[in-house]
Amino acid sequence: MEELETVDMKLYCFRVGGIKLPGMEEPMPMYVYLIRHPKGLVLVDTGQSYPFRDENAVMEEADTILPQLKKLGVAPQDIGYVVLSHMHMDHAGYMSSFPGALFLVRKAELQAAWWPEVYEHGYDLRNYEQTRGFRYVQIGNDEDFDVFEDGSIVLIDTRGHSRGHQSVLLNLPHTGKVVLAVDAAPDQEMLERGFSGRPFTDTERETRSLQKIRHLADCGYQVFYAHDPKNPHEKLAPDYYD
């Protein structure tokens, strides 16, 4: 990828609770991201719904994204864009809270969320059943989508974990190049191993996506892991990466 001029941006990371699965010693963190860009506020994922949480969620209502945004002085109507990495329940729980935003999501992911195959787990229709009339850009599976056409925020195909999973490439002025891998590489151990060992929508494509993220890391990108208790984000809002 050619070198691009950096844009003045800030990246805020919010820990919005955790997930503790059977056999785990400690919960896996859940993160939501806010990007301040000169052309608007971009929210990446919306976290787990508190009312619709399941028995694995470790969270308080104060952990959810809306009260955390409020601490920064950001209201739901201030969000111009919502990027959905995918629409599993721990990432799409507050979609309906941003009716004025433009949603950037893979077309295949919308199809999976609204009509999943029997093996496609993790979706909860209650999280987004009120969003059919929202504005969407339905991104193609093989498309790299440059949000502002300036190279600062680029959405890349990393399907496998879900039918239309995407990750986010950022070019920050001081921090440098960052990839929000989300569930394409939820922790460092999986990235280094190169495969998950767990059944997902498409194990072959999931492995290819891990290879893509690992290549980005080899090229100097910092990888931000979505669910790695051993590698938490060093800065949480109101602190930020720039």
Pairwise CA distance, residues 177 & 157, whole Å: 17
Q: For the chain, what is the radius of gyration of the CA atoms? A: 16
Cβ atoms of 200 and 207 within 8 Å: the answer is: no
How does pLDDT run across 172-186, given as a tens digit for each residue?
A: 999 999 999 999 998
Query: What pLDDT does residue 233 have?
Result: 95
Tell me the percentage of the chain whose pLDDT exceeds 70.
95
Nearest to 124 by CA among 51, 52, 55: 52
The reported pTM is 0.94
The verdict on whether omega for the bond into residue 173 sits within 30 degrees of 0, i.e. cis, is no
Residue pLDDT, tens place only, 28-70: 999 999 999 999 999 999 999 999 999 999 999 999 999 999 9
Q: What is the pLDDT of residue 2?
A: 47
Pairing mode, strands 102-106 and 135-139: parallel
